[in-house]
Structure 1
Amino acid sequence: MHYRYLLLTAFALAAIAPAYAAQPAPATLNPSPHAIDIPPWFRETFLDFREDIREAAKANKRLMVYFGQDGCPYCRELMRVNFGDKGIVDKTRRQFDAVAINIWGDREVTWLDGKVHSEKTFAALLKVQFTPTLLFFDEKGNVVLRLNGYYPPHKFHV
């Protein structure tokens, strides 16, 4: 009797196992509808701004840092409309290395003084209060331009 129960249980598990194995991972079932898609031409770095600024300068570029957050309609607009415009993308890629920071994120960021911050505290350190915010750094790490909020393409081209 005991063996019959075990055998029946084993067959039942074997019958339903393929159904569970064919299911995609939970993260792919319901991606957040509020997630902001960062363009693939943004650099994936270790977020060490000493290196990022140095590498941009070696390539005769400057560093552009995008500060955003999931669920921000203006961040989505910047990514879809402005960075969907070939003219803006070509000019931006030619002149800047781009890096994205989530103002609520927990990835480690190393600032110019060598201190390590979370993305969240780094955004606060640079007084980022609005999203999107774009900061443009020169080769010495100075902020040379700050764009708070969304600028439509006709203003962004300038």
Structure 2
Amino acid sequence: MLPAQAQEINWITMNEALEAQKKEPKKIFMDVYTNWCGPCKMLDKNTFHNPDVVKYVNDNFYAVKFNAEGTEEIKYNDYTYTNPNYNPDRKGRNSQHFFANALKVTGYPSIVFFDEEGNLITPVTGYKTPQQLEIYLKMVREDDYKTLTSTEAWQTYEESFVSTFKD
């Protein structure tokens, strides 16, 4: 019997994901977090270590971890995004990275999805259990989001969705 392997999402940077898309087009799944965010830590611990989530994300997406108050330079759509107001001496909250702002991230944690060409699909704000995240992962992976253009369509989709992820 093989020893149990620790299951981890294969996190990379946004720049690495955009570069990888040029060779092998795949959607991007981005975890937008901050260091002070309690629900972000819960998402990391509870949802991003769930074996079903790990396998689905690793099989179907480039997974990006992005600190919305960090200093990483991101080259996206011919523009370099930075966080010029970042204060390294500050404790707790810091200034928001311009890339997080450009993605219209309004709360943490947020999951942001991009299509195979790196175009923004949508941000999804708030803590999600593995089963709550599953509907978004599959909706984006299968391109179902393209047909869900009304609240009614989303409600019907959500009501008919059957989760297969385990706790």
TM category (shorter chain) comes to: 0.5 to 0.7
Measured at CA, do residues 74 and 57 of structure 1 come closer, stay the same or move farther in structure 2, by a change above 3 Å? Answer: farther
Q: CA RMSD for the aligned pairs?
A: 2.1
State the Cα distance separating 1:71 from its structure 2 match: 2.1
Match of residue 37, structure 2, among 53, 66, 72: 72
Larger radius of gyration: 1
1:103 maps to 68
Deviations 1:25-44 (A, max 9, x none): xxxxxxxxxxxxxx56201x
Equivalences, count: 116
1:147 maps to 124
Residues 53, 139 of structure 1: 8 Å contact kept = no
Q: How does the TM-score come out when normalised to structure 2?
A: 0.61
Residues 56, 96 of structure 1: 8 Å contact kept = no
Identity of aligned residues (%): 27
Where structure 2 has 5 or more consecutive residues not aligned to the other structure, the ranges are 1-7, 84-95, 136-167
Q: How does the TM-score come out when normalised to structure 1?
A: 0.64
Where structure 1 has 5 or more consecutive residues not aligned to the other structure, the ranges are 1-38
The reply to whether residue 41 of structure 1 matches residue 10 of structure 2 is: yes
SS at match of 2:71: coil
Match of residue 89, structure 1, among 51, 54, 60: 54
State the Cα distance separating 1:108 from its structure 2 match: 1.1
